[in-house]
Amino acid sequence: MATALQKMDMRAPKAVERGDTRIESWFTKAHKAAIVLASLSAESAAAIVDEMSDDELRSFAKAFSDLKTVSPQLLEVVAEEFLAAASSPEQNDLSGGSEEARRVLTLMAKEERADRILADMGGGGESAVWSRVEKVEDEELAQYVQAQRMPIAATILSKLSYEKTAAVLNLAEAEYAQKVLLEIARKKPSSPDALEAISNVLEEELLRAAPGAAEDEDGEEEATPAAAKGNAGAKVGEIINYLPGVKRDALLEHFKEADPEVGAEVRRAVLTFEELYVRMPASGATALLRDLDREVLLKAIKYGETNAQETVEFLFGNISKRMVEQYKEELAEMETPSEEDGEAAQREVTTVVRQLVNDGEFKLVPLKEPGEEEGA
């Protein structure tokens, strides 16, 4: 039956009139097919829906939600060859709208499938897919992404939050991470059609059975930060900010050798705890210590005694002596955190720094390239 729907001549670029009935010129083939399908009984429609792909069913839901009301006369004009399955001409108007689309689709398809199709309608189209991909377990997502062609893998990872992308790549081999991040840095943004096609495939292949992909009750998900959205190299820099220091530094060196222009762009977007002493103004230290969780700060500083002594001295040099003494007393009783915990705390510090910069509290000092003259 789906084939029959596809064969229907529903192109009508202009309004069609029959008696006092008029087909709106904006009606597309999808709108007209939705009218026909929705007019059938739940039992008849279910048999058709079983033969439709999720992509086709998603098109039905979106098209039907655009409609207002469809009179029996208009239904007759649109669905000539389906009059045998349509209700009598005396039936009431067929209601449209998003709520009615949900009700009708739930009648025709299994509840689980209907919920999956309707997720896009409530989440702004393809955005609902990406927010659910964000919740897939890191290990499963890493396996899935690495099985894709490099351009597809780069597109998927570029749509996720920086932290999620870093977590996925942290599970991959170094050579793969290098290649996919260079692909992200070099590629142009994908077209809306390409993104929709990829999101549809993700819905079918990954999200249907992914244990971590269920949506939160409030349906909200952290979006990719606004900073660096239009700058592919900066986006890669933001991603590797979340990687362990050894991997981050190795990637920066690789980018510098493989593509100096991209490498410089990526490096400018990286902010590490070790370089805060040359990137932050004195006023920034005060703002940072004001907003940062004390436990996180102490853990970052304790680990910083092994990898970022200049930053520790910078922070202590811009607060009162009394506070410094309090911190030092607590630090003396602490054990040095593990590399993983210490770097995680330092990443939290740089995250707060970035937030303060975004809030206009202060500006970061531009990073100078080796050999660059002062004031250049």
In a domain, 374, yes or no: no
In this structure, is residue 342 part of a structural domain? yes
Q: Are 232 and 185 in contact (CB under 8 A)?
A: yes
Are 41 and 24 in a shared domain? yes
pLDDT band at 111 (very low <50, low <70, confident <90, very high): low
User: How far does CA 148 lie from the centroid of its chain?
Assistant: 18
Torsion over CA: 17, 22, 26, 28 (sign): negative
Question: Which pLDDT belongs to residue 98?
Answer: 56
| 105 lies in some domain | yes
**Cβ-Cβ contacts under 8 Å for 174 (sequence gap 6 or more):** 247, 250, 251
> What pLDDT is attached to residue 217?
44
pLDDT of residue 20: 47
Distance CA 245, CA 261 (A): 22
Angle at 60 between CA 59 and CA 63, to 5 degrees: 85
Which candidate, 350, 351, 297, places its Cα nearest to that of 328? 297
Binned at pLDDT 50, 70 and 90, residue 331 comes out as very high
pLDDT tens, position by position, 143-195 = 999 999 999 999 999 999 999 999 999 999 999 999 999 999 987 777 888 88
Please give the model's pTM, rounded to 2 decimal places. Answer: 0.58
The DSSP output letter for 281 is -
Instruction: Specify the pLDDT at position 209.
Output: 59
Question: Strands (DSSP E) along 122-205, which ranges?
Answer: none
What CATH number did the domain enclosing 339 receive?
A: 1.10.220.30
Kindly report, residue by residue over 116-125, the tens digit of the pLDDT. 555 544 444 4
Is residue 91 over pLDDT 90? no
DSSP state of 17: E
Same-domain status, 181 and 245: yes
> In terms of domains, do 139 and 31 share one?
no
Q: Are residues 114 and 26 in the same domain?
A: yes
Q: Is residue 365 part of a domain?
A: no
The answer to whether residue 110 scores a pLDDT higher than 60 is: no
What are the tokens at 18?
A: 């029959």
> At 97, is the pLDDT very low, low, confident or very high (cuts 50, 70, 90)?
low
Give the count of domains, the chain: 3
Q: Based on the domain organization, do 76 and 14 belong to the same domain?
A: yes
Q: Are residues 152 and 70 in the same domain?
A: no
What pLDDT digit, counting tens, does each position of 210-255 carry? Answer: 555 555 444 444 444 444 445 777 889 889 988 998 999 999 999 9
User: Is the same domain home to 133 and 117?
Assistant: no
Last residue of a domain, one of 121, 147, 179: 121
Mean of pLDDT over the chain: 76
Q: Which of 204, 215, 243 lies closest to 134 in space, CA to CA?
A: 215
Q: Assess whether pLDDT exceeds 80 at residue 268.
A: yes
- Do 233 and 293 lie in one domain? The reply is no
b/e string for 43-53 if b means 16 or more Cβ within 10 A?
eebeebbeebe
pLDDT score, position 154 = 93
- What is the per-residue pLDDT for 200? 84
In a domain, 375, yes or no: no
Share of the chain above pLDDT 90, in %: 38
Question: Is residue 369 predicted with pLDDT exceeding 80?
Answer: no
pLDDT, residue 89, reads: 47
Query: What pLDDT is attached to residue 153?
Result: 93
> What number of CA atoms fall less than 13 Å from residue 338's CA on the CB side?
3
- The reply to whether 350 falls in a domain is yes
Q: Which residues pair with 95 in a beta bridge?
A: 69
CA dihedral 8, 11, 16, 22 (to 10 degrees): 80
Does 252 lie in the same domain as 319?
A: no
Domain match, 237 and 287 both = no
Query: Could you tell me the two tokens for 271?
Result: 């902010």
Task: Give domain status of residue 363, yes or no.
Answer: no
Say if 368 falls within a structural domain. no
**Residue scoring higher pLDDT (311 or 68):** 311
Are 140 and 236 members of one domain? yes
Q: Tell me the residue range of the domain where 322 lies.
A: 273-358
- Do residue 305 and residue 182 come from a single domain? no
Looking at the predicted structure, is the pLDDT value of residue 23 above 90?
Answer: no
Q: What does the CA dihedral 304, 309, 315, 317 come to, rounded to 10 degrees?
A: 150
Domain closes at, from 234, 258, 282: 258
